[in-house]
Structure 1
């Protein structure tokens, strides 16, 4: 399906349809969106009409609406300027500047001065500019400084200069002789491109339409048939004989509106409308919400992809920890061998070679020893290690099962997102994502650091993360921030976390004085952040201590960030980026 633009021909049709507003009174001005203004104009014999003017980068357009838009309670500065100079005034003229995408509206203010509202519908460079009688800029929807554009400043007090443009003939005023002479001189290989570059305001779409009309007139393209097609468009425009159509795709969805019937599209996809305002309103009322929904879908898809990647990465790291279960058997075997041959183990040795209890008659085991421990203590140390590895492996196995389940849920959400067609479906999926902790409306992806409000934490470098369920997790970025977090921010019943026997960030979970309400999932999330913000961040499994803030103290005279603590429990987690 061809993309149908809001081009100079569409603007010409709209300007023709706006002529009855000349002499009308501007009763009210609102700015319902950042780039949109709505003029309520009283027209004698008609009543109130609602005139939308938008300089949106994606949807620059102007036409009459069938209804009033909601009026924000606090008008932006541009809206206030328009009200000051134009509200209560009379519209004198509404005109297109040559055949460009620029609309000039002259309004005689209530104090008698005449102001110009220049509407430039030029994609991302679109703007709405209010110009004083002395041709100086009073205000604009988008301010453009010399840092943004060296060619043209748009700032209050600056002289108004039109957008830079190449002088080309207005197609509505071109004669047959001029057209044919130019065509024969240029002898173009691509007639559509020739039309677009030779004449003012002819969009690529309109150029293609003229060529399609010429091909209908004659099987072979010639200069005469191209002229006849060209004339059929612009003579009708000069006479104001518009036949607007709403274009629908094969699924009957509106995909565009144009002021004339189109030869470049199937007739069954074109639906006549009574005027250009109705055609445009029918299209944009569907197209803009649909585009916004597609943008939301892409955003949620990106979030789900990042969540999926995070879960897969965590699973990879967990796999390494689960596989360490095999070491438990080795540790137990070493412990039993040491107990069986205690008398053969010399004190202070760093290793010993002993007969293998479970091997062949001649096989031996070389066992590493801690020289500071007795043979009996070395054996007990290996039994303790075996128990620890087994317990840790069981816990990691449970975590792996949970992550695998979550991975499947994320994949299912991605599949459902692909098939979403209605905003209600998207909203439901978004809420489900938030409930599962994958997405927070104020924080984005679960766990993603949120910007610190200006002045919060007195400028100390403390990051705020949102854990699943909306719990706040604070992470100190340096020693000073760690000290401030522990001594000034954390409350006695907040959870405090730090890597065991090492340096790293202090992490605090805000509990609202109810530490038992914090789910284990949130504590593990915070522990992963503590591991990630420590020198052990590249390890597969990192021990992290967790205790309540009231059991953490900074010794007198200690360096910032140095603390002692009691009542801790140790978690073994894989680091998470944070």
Structure 2
């Protein structure tokens, strides 16, 4: 959830504060619904979804139910008492502070502050006391994970690292001049509260595309669109036909560019090799001259002074020939070294003769591929971009085929687990044996809902390729790959995940398993 969207929601909430706290509900382990009665008498839910990868803060009507499901949620139920006094945002960052007054009673409940960090994959929810110390946290963060700050009970709360960006609520037109000549998408780096989705919305409103280099006129349009975005950041999807065509073309170019650059790097490497091979051919004359000098040394041994660094001998054609010598070795040894140098040059030339036509064919094939790539449509480019890159030699990981024909990938070590998970489609299914070290298993369904037999097939592979191999009942979690992420600074193969379901299977290979 982006900063300006949070700002708009808090602006809508502000007239209702302070609001009476009517109670909490917990629809699931990663959600909190706070039932409020505002100053106007309106009753509504302030809903916090605080688990990665898609946290959010929304106002909803109706009735939401759910008992506390985790120790942290039970703490919230006990400590978040009294009216909601204020809802504040840290700059336009995705960090919100909800301040509660506490409650007088037989046992007083002191004031507290709930902190929502709606920061994508690092999302979290914390409860602070009056002094700003952490009472509880949904996800404990240690120094091993984040050197900048620790988030665990008992420590003072430290917000995310500070940053400097333009505030769209107060900026002037001239403040945007730092974007002059740059593409519109650079606004994400320089303007607070604007992420990728709002950048695209800004482009729609300004009638530009994300890749448009900004001139003076475009900057003015962006400035006006930013002001409108602050007042109403609601996302829309309508595009004119002309703008839709421009966006489609830019999307194609954005996909095409890295593919062409990779092919061009390979082409330059091959051309450099061709140049080396040609130099090797050109040195054949040098090899012939070295052989002639070696022959001459052996024929004129008596004319070579002992310890000389060079000697001038009469050549076989009667002309003088100067020969450089190693003064510490005999004329015979000098001749032997000249023969060896000549043989190396001749071997390089012979190899070059063999490799030049093969390399030229590779260059020609690459240039043909680049020409086809320049003419490729969006569907072809997407297919090429999503195609997993495999290294030379054997494939990354084990490959199987499920009973219904879906591909199944299995990592064999931490590096392969990391590579396969990153290469998987966001809607593929990811499997891992619960609570034990083991392989990451990917069922390549790309959003489809496979039959149960395919799920069990992949789950058994995950159980077999884990520390639970051979056990009768192995719990295996599975979820869409988009709900799996690697924590910051974590080692390859380590992963966190949400939205998981669990299957119980035997820790043995499925029957009739077929590895590709």
User: Which band: TM-score by shorter chain?
Assistant: 0.3 to 0.5
Q: Normalising to structure 1: TM-score of the pair? A: 0.43
Name the larger-Rg structure.
Answer: 1
